[in-house]
């Protein structure tokens, strides 16, 4: 057995990598290679790097597929980086609110990358595969090579059609909008090609957007997942792992005195000009307030460049954890990693969701009393003050439960992959040979 299940901040958390050595290629356990198929976006990647780090510490060689921009982050956490066989700019799954486009792109990327990924996986001879829940190509590799397969969820699961998770997503995307458009014919064409050439199954919209493995590794708590208690034993809730990934970047400014508001809408939506202008109007040049804001270069290239008051610190990238340690409020779009990092550091959230999945997260956090959804930009300062008051009354027991890391059962299962899982994909694949 491994260390007892861990709570964030406990002594059982691994030390930073600069205090221990990486394993060399010759030191890994024989037959203990895992191929990990990631999604090259910060929220997805940051959510699972701590798991990679734990696997490396146990002697696993984790071959992690992503794009070059995440090369150093992956290797800083013990992974062995492999580049996807497409250019960085080609692999774009950022437009999460257009789910029909997202579905078509996932099928398209799978068709393009699968021949190379299969060939490389056969050379690596992995004992198992782990894939992000959006990385259908990873599920396909596991299915075709008859390997134990595990899906990692950095977003809440939809669950069964008609279940609590399904309706939570439906409400979010209904508000944002999900038009029936020209993506459908192209998606059908791609689906038929994959079914015919590779004999793949489970290519419908929901199975491709929420890929399942023998086990589902959930990067958050059961309490956060809508209907989480009904999902069964094949769902392992690991807790929010992002807080314990190894971070290379350091902030290049001195932290101001007084109250700090930290503002970031994530790497995709940081170009929200209306929010930036409202912040400047309502919090500008106030002596006891400082605002640290993650900007986007589009602010400076799209129309008239924005200027900020003297009490604003504006950067294109920051070490978020170091800022949250000192913040009184976090204004965020509602990404899973960000809101859980804020909760861990005891920072209430003012939530400004930009797409359906973020709206689901925001509603969950608001319902539990850890955040407040921003509904009126004209009253931004009042809304911010109301959000900060939540800390006086929130449920500390729930906070502790939702920031707990529980990876032991997953590590035990991953260490004995031949005895775990339903065998659904492996039996089907054998029957087709």
pLDDT in tens, 96-134: 557 888 899 999 999 999 999 999 999 999 999 999 999
Does pLDDT of 14 surpass 70?
no
* pLDDT tens readout for residues 340-365: 999 999 999 999 988 778 888 999 99
Please answer whether residues 84 and 58 qualify as being in contact, where contact means their C-beta atoms are separated by less than 8 angstroms. Answer: no
Report the 10 Å Cβ neighbour count for 250.
8
* Mean pLDDT for the stretch of residues 317-331: 93
What is the tens place of the pLDDT at every residue in 392-412?
Answer: 999 999 999 999 999 999 999
Supply 101's token pair: 């486009």
| CB contact burial 284-299 (16+ within 10 A = b; e otherwise) | eeeeebbbbbbbbeeb
Residue 146: per-residue pLDDT: 95
Structural domains in the chain plus CATH codes: 6-239+406-432 (3.40.50.2000), 259-402 (3.40.50.2000)
Q: Which residue has the higher pLDDT, 58 or 159?
A: 58
The answer to which of 94-103, 266-275, 390-399, 419-428 has the lowest mean pLDDT is 419-428
Asked if the model's pLDDT at residue 415 lies above 80, the reply is yes
CA distance 58 to 29: 9
Using one digit for the tens of pLDDT, what is the confidence trace for 60-78? Answer: 999 999 999 999 999 999 9
Q: Do residues 81 and 74 make contact, with C-beta atoms less than 8 angstroms apart?
A: yes
Q: Token pair of 302, please?
A: 């799209």
Does the structure show a pLDDT above 90 at 17? no
Q: How far apart are CA 324 and CA 347, in angstroms?
A: 7
DSSP 8-state class, residue 231: S
* Mean pLDDT across the chain: 83
Question: pLDDT at position 366, please?
Answer: 96
In the prediction, which pLDDT does 161 show? 54
In the chain, the percentage of residues whose pLDDT exceeds 70 is 79
Tens digits of residue pLDDT in 207-250: 999 999 999 999 999 999 988 888 889 999 999 998 888 777 78
- Residue 422: the pLDDT is 42
Per-residue confidence (pLDDT) for residue 386, from 0 to 100: 97
């Amino acid at each position: 057995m491994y260390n007892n299940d861990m709570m964030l901040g406990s002594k059982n958390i691994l030390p930073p990598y600069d205090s221990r050595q990486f394993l060399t290629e010759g030191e890994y356990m024989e037959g203990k290679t895992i191929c990990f198929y990631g999604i090259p976006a910060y929220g997805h990647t940051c959510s699972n790097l701590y798991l990679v780090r734990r696997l490396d510490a146990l002697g696993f060689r984790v071959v992690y597929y992503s794009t070059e921009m995440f090369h150093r982050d992956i290797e800083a956490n013990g992974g062995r980086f492999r580049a996807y066989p497409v250019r960085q700019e080609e692999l774009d799954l950022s437009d999460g609110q257009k789910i029909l486009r997202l579905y078509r792109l996932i099928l398209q990327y799978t068709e393009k990358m699968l021949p190379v990924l299969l060939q490389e996986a056969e050379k690596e001879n992995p004992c198992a595969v782990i894939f992000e829940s959006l990385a259908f190509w990873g599920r396909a590799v596991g299915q075709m090579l008859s390997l134990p397969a595990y899906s990692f969820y950095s977003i809440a699961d939809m669950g069964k059609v008609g279940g609590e998770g399904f309706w939570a997503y439906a409400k979010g995307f209904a508000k944002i909008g999900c038009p029936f458009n020209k993506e459908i014919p192209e998606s059908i064409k791609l689906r038929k090609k994959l079914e015919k050439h590779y004999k793949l199954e489970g290519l419908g919209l929901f199975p491709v957007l929420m890929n399942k493995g023998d086990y589902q590794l959930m990067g958050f708590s059961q309490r956060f997942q809508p209907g989480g208690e009904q999902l069964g034993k094949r769902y392992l809730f690991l807790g929010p792992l992002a807080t314990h990934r190894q971070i290379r970047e350091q902030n290049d400014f001195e932290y101001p005195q007084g109250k700090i508001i930290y503002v970031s809408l994530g790497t995709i939506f940081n170009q929200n000009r209306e929010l930036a202008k409202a912040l400047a109007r309502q919090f500008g040049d106030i002596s006891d307030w400082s605002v640290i804001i993650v900007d986007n270069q589009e602010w400076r290239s799209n129309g008239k460049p924005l200027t900020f008051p003297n009490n604003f610190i504006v950067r294109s990238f920051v070490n978020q954890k170091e800022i949250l340690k000192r913040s009184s409020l976090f204004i965020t779009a509602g990404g899973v990693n960000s809101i859980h990092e804020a909760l861990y550091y005891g920072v209430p959230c003012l939530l400004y969701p930009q797409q359906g999945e973020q709206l689901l997260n925001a509603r969950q956090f608001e319902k539990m009393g850890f955040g407040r959804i921003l509904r009126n930009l004209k009253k931004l300062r009042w809304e911010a003050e109301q959000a900060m008051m939540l800390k006086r009354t929130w449920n500390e027991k729930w906070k502790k439960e939702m920031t707990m890391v529980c990876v032991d059962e997953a590590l035990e299962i991953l260490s004995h992959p031949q005895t775990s899982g339903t065998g659904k994909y492996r039996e089907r694949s054998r029957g087709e040979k």
